[in-house]
Structure 1
C-alpha cells in the first residue's frame, strides 16, 4: 500500500497489507471502558481473570477479576455483599441484571397446609446471618465463599449487522500488515451484581416477615378459565420482553482463559492472526476508481440546485435615489 506524502506529512513507512481467511472460531475484542490502558487484566498486574462466561445466543459476556481483599478493603461491607450473592445463588439465581432478563428467583418461604416437611432449604440459607463471625475470621470466611472477592465486568456483543462498520484487528510482521475480521466488539463495564443480590435478598426477607405476621394462607381452589394467547408479537415492547425471557432461560457457557504471556496465547496468535503463505496470496483489485471511492466514504451531499435563468434574477440596487 503506497501513500503520497508531502514535506509536512512525509511517508515514514510502507506495509504490504494481507487479509487472513475467515476464522473457524469467534474473535471478539473486549474494551474495558473504566480500566486504564496501562493496567491490563493480566497475570503480571496480579489481575488475571478468574472466570469468563458467555451466553452465545443473547450475546452477554461476563468476566470475573480477583479483588485484593487485603489492601484498602471494607471487610464488613465485603462480607455483607458476599453473603447476599451466596444466598441468592443458593436458591437458584444464575445471573443478575440484563443477563438475567431482570428476573429474580424468589424461594418458597412458608409451608402450606398439607405440605410435607418444613420450610424450603433456601430459608435455612437466609437464616445464616453470622456477619460478625465472618468479619472476625475473615480469611477463613473468604476461603468458604462468604466474602465478595471478585469484580465482575459485563457487556453485550456488538456484531456486524450490515449497517454497522466491519472491524478488523491488525498484526505486524516486518513490512507486512495482516488484517483479521472481528466477529464483534464487547464494551465491558463494571457490573454491580452484589447490589442486585442485596435488593433481592431484602425483598425475600420482607416477604418472609409479612408471611410470619399474617400467617400462611391456605391454598384455595380457584376457577380456571382457559384463554388463548398470541405466541409472539412484533411490537418493540413484545420483542424486548421476548429477548429478556430467552436471555434469562439461556445458560452460561464457561470459557477457558489464557494469559497473554502464556505459550497457548502465543500459539493462537501466530496460528490465527497471520496469513500462512503471503507469497501465494492473490492480489485484491478495486472495483472503484479514486473518485468513486471518495464519493462512497464521503457524507451524502445535497443535490445541487439548477442554475436560475437570467429573467428569474432580481436586481437589487443600493442607490438612495429610488423609492423603496
Structure 2
C-alpha cells in the first residue's frame, strides 16, 4: 500500500490573492477574553478609532460598563479630572502618543454610546442617582503599528467561499493595552493642598498652567547610546507633532461590515483571474527552504557552485549523447 493511500486527498481548493494595496490590520486585545469581544452585542462597541499614520500610533475608545464592577466614587473622581483636563479639550492623548505631555489629548467622557439614563442623571444598580456626565464612561486602548522589516513573516487572512480560498495579506498585527489617561488627568489637576482655611472671597479657581513640551536632555557614556537616545527623542517629537486622524467604528455584525468584508476579503469574480507564476525553479525553491546542500562527490562545492557544477555535467552528458 502506498503512502498516498494512507493519507488520501479529501479536498482541493483554488487559491486567490486579493488586492495587496488595501491596508488590513489585526487587533489583539491582550487583557480581553476571546469570548468577550468589543462589540455591540456586549454593549461595548468601540466609539471611535484614532490613528497617526506616520508614527503608527493607534487608539481605540471603548465604553466602560457602569452597571457592574464599577466604583462610582472613583468613576466620578476620574471623570471630573478627565473632563477638566487640557488634553480632553485638545482632543489628543497623554503618554507616548502625546510626547509625554498633556497638550495633545486624553480620553473623553462623552461620545456616542448606548446609555440608560433618566434625563441628565443616571440610576445605578445600587440605586444611587448621579450626574451621568460626571462619570468616567470610556477607556482608551492603545497600540502601535510595527514597521515592516526584511525577514518578517507575512501573515494572511484566509476566507473560504465555495471551493475557493481567498488570501488577503495583513499590513500589521497591533497589540492593544489599556491606557491610564484618567490618572494622568488627575495628576494634571491643581493640588488642593494648602487651600483650606482661606476666606470665601479668596476661594478662586486655580489658574490653569500652559501645556508645554518636555525638554529632555540625555547624557550617555558612549556615542552609540547618544545616537540611540537622540533617535528616541526624535520619534517622540514626531509622535507629539503629528495630528490624529479619527475614524468611525462599524460593528462586525452590521450590514455595512459585511459589505466591506465582501469588497476587501474576496477576490472579484468578474473576468478570468491571472495565474501566478513562480520566479523560482525546483532547485532554487529547495535552496530557499533548506540548509545549503553539499555535493558528496565534491564536498568543497556548495550552493550555487554545486548547481553550476551539476549544470556543466548535464551539458557534457547531453553533448556526448548527441555524438
TM-score normalised by the shorter chain: which range applies? 0.5 to 0.7
Alignment of 1:3-42 (within 5 A): 7=6, 10-23=8-21, 25-42=22-39
Match of 1:235 among 221, 224, 227: 227
SS in 2 for 1:205: coil
Alignment of 1:1-324 (within 5 A): 7=6, 10-23=8-21, 25-88=22-85, 89=87, 92=90, 94-105=92-103, 140-142=130-132, 144=133, 146-201=134-189, 204-205=190-191, 235-277=227-269, 280-298=272-290
Q: Which runs of 5+ in 2 are unaligned?
A: 105-123, 199-225, 301-323
Deviation at 1:190, TM superposition (A): 1.5
Question: What do you get for the CA RMSD once the two structures are aligned?
Answer: 3.5
Distance 1:97 1:207, change over 3 A: farther
Mean Cα deviation higher: 170-179 or 189-198: 189-198
Deviation at 1:189, TM superposition (A): 1.5
Deviation at 1:241, TM superposition (A): 0.6
SS in 1 for 2:131: helix
Deviation at 1:6, TM superposition (A): 6.7
Counterparts of 1:29 and 1:140, CA distance in 2: 38
Per-residue deviation, residues 163-211 of structure 1 (Å, max 9, x unmatched): 322222221101111112222221111212112222333xx428998xx
Match of 2:121 in 1: none
Deviation at 1:159, TM superposition (A): 3.8
* TM-score, length of structure 2 as denominator length: 0.66
Counterparts of 1:200 and 1:259, CA distance in 2: 34
Aligned length: 247
Q: Which runs of 5+ in 1 are unaligned?
A: 107-134, 213-233, 308-324
* TM-score, length of structure 1 as denominator length: 0.66
Distance 1:270 1:58, change over 3 A: same
Distance 1:6 1:61, change over 3 A: farther
Deviation at 1:278, TM superposition (A): 7.1
Deviation at 1:254, TM superposition (A): 1.1
Distance 1:15 1:76, change over 3 A: same
